[in-house]
């Protein structure tokens, strides 16, 4: 299964190699303990930042590499060669789902204050959009932000006061910096984004949530109880937060597609090795025609999805509107990864159901990829309404 693509260049291969070496050295030997602990140690993330892996798309003056969407995809796919999706999503939320809000909409002062430390890994980020009653329906959020005068400012600059609850927030327990969506008017899409630092009075983790998969990612309910933040913590234009979220969804969904494709590739690799070695009824499983053909078809679908994924990233670099394409990609890969990983798990027999088996972990971790970041059904509606 070759990773060669017409979109590749030598810098991409160097990046893949750098990420692969980091995973082999810093992740795979230790990540089972992280699964038990429920989070990735922040010193590991700091080392990733110090290695220059947290700012690929961001400005050089803040420590970034100013790379394009194709390079960012190469990073996400390389990261997804790990078999520990909790680690992968911890990183991708920081690099592709939360901090891009600061990159795209942040003022010069906000970037100067935060972005250097985000890129270095000193600050780990989370994004608070989903709520108990609003997931894929972003416009249905109920968290509010209201303006108030700030008696402590002495300048009449004012403040914002946030109230509400966020749910299923990855990095929610241990992040340092949060980008929170809140309603700022009566209109359905009248919302804004805000910067909230950990430790702000009234801002707390309501619950640390236990999940079926992604065990080494910390996931939380966040509570905002009269959280007062400076007026300068408004991120981007007031009332334009919905459009900021929609724009960033395209980056997020390509990253999730990379996770899905990476899981497919890893599942196929370990299963091809397994069925060649495992014997049943006196012969290797590979001698069974059905097994050979089903794995071949799974590989074909994975390769096709991968090329579509790279095509979507290439279209981003060309400045095209990619909402329909990326919605297709997210729907396709979210379903495909569950199909491929379950097929591979089946061919591991009883061992595929044991917690000690990597294929069992991939099976659990894959399930959410058809849900998170836009459920398959929502993605297909996004596709259909653009015909």
The catalytic residue positions are 252
Structure tokens at 202: 């009234």
Q: In angstroms, how far is the first alpha carbon of the chain from the final one? A: 34
Burial degree of 321 (CB within 10 A; 0-12, 13-18, 19+): exposed
> Which residues, in sequence order, are bridge partners of residue 192?
182
119: phi then psi, degrees, rounded to nearest 5: -65, -35
Cα distance between residue 234 and residue 118, in whole Å: 18
Angle among Cα 18, 119, 159 to the nearest 5 degrees reads: 160
Structure tokens at 308: 């579509």
223 Rama class: left (phi>0) / alpha (psi -120 to 50) / beta: beta
> Residue 36: which residues within 8 A CB-CB, separation 6 or more?
215
CA 6 to the chain's CA centroid? 25
For 212, half-sphere exposure in the C-beta direction (CA atoms, 13 angstrom radius) is: 9
Q: Where do we find the tokens 């996004």? A: 382
CA 198 to the chain's CA centroid? 21
151: how many CB neighbours lie within 10 A of its CB?
8
Cα distance between residue 11 and residue 386, in whole Å: 35
DSSP state, 98?
A: I
Strand bridging mode 177-183 / 283-284: unpaired
Cα distance between residue 363 and residue 345, in whole Å: 7
| Residue in 78, 72, 57, 7 with CA at minimum distance from that of residue 314 | 7
Residue 219's SS3 state is: strand
């Amino acid at each position: 299964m070759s990773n060669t693509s017409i979109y590749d260049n030598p810098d991409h291969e160097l990046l893949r190699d750098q990420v692969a070496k980091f995973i082999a050295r810093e992740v795979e030997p230790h990540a089972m303990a992280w699964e038990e602990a429920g989070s990735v140690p922040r010193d590991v993330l700091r080392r990733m930042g110090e290695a220059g892996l947290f700012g690929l798309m961001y400005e050089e003056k803040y420590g970034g590499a100013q790379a394009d969407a194709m390079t960012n995809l190469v990073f996400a796919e390389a990261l997804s060669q790990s078999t520990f999706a909790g680690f992968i999503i911890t990183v991708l939320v920081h690099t592709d789902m939360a901090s891009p809000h600061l990159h795209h909409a942040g003022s010069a002062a906000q970037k100067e204050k935060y972005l250097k430390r985000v890129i270095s890994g000193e600050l780990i980020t989370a994004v608070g959009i989903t709520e108990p009653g609003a997931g894929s329906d972003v416009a249905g959020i109920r968290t509010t932000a209201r303006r108030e005068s700030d008696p402590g400012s002495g300048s009449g600059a004012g403040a914002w006061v946030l109230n509400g609850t966020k749910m299923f927030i990855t990095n929610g327990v241990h992040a340092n910096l949060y980008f929170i969506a809140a309603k700022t008017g009566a209109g359905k899409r009248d919302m804004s984004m805000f910067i909230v630092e950990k430790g702000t009075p009234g801002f707390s983790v309501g619950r640390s949530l236990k999940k079926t998969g992604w065990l080494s990612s910390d996931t939380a309910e966040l509570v905002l109880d009269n959280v007062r933040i400076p007026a300068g913590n408004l991120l981007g234009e007031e009332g334009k937060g919905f459009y900021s979220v929609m724009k960033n969804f395209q980056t997020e969904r390509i990253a999730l597609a990379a996770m899905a494709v990476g899981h497919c590739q890893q599942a196929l690799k370990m299963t091809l090795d397994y069925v060649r070695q495992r014997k049943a009824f006196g012969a290797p499983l590979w001698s069974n025609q059905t097994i050979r053909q089903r794995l071949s078809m799974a590989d074909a679908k994975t390769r096709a999805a991968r090329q579509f994924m790279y095509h979507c990233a290439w279209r981003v670099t060309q400045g095209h509107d990619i909402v329909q394409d990326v919605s297709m990609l997210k729907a396709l890969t979210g379903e495909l990864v569950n199909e491929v990983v379950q097929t591979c798990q089946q061919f591991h027999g009883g061992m595929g159901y044991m917690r000690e088996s990597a294929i069992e972990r991939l099976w659990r971790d894959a399930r959410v990829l058809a849900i998170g970041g836009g459920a398959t059904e929502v993605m297909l509606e996004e596709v259909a309404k653009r015909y």
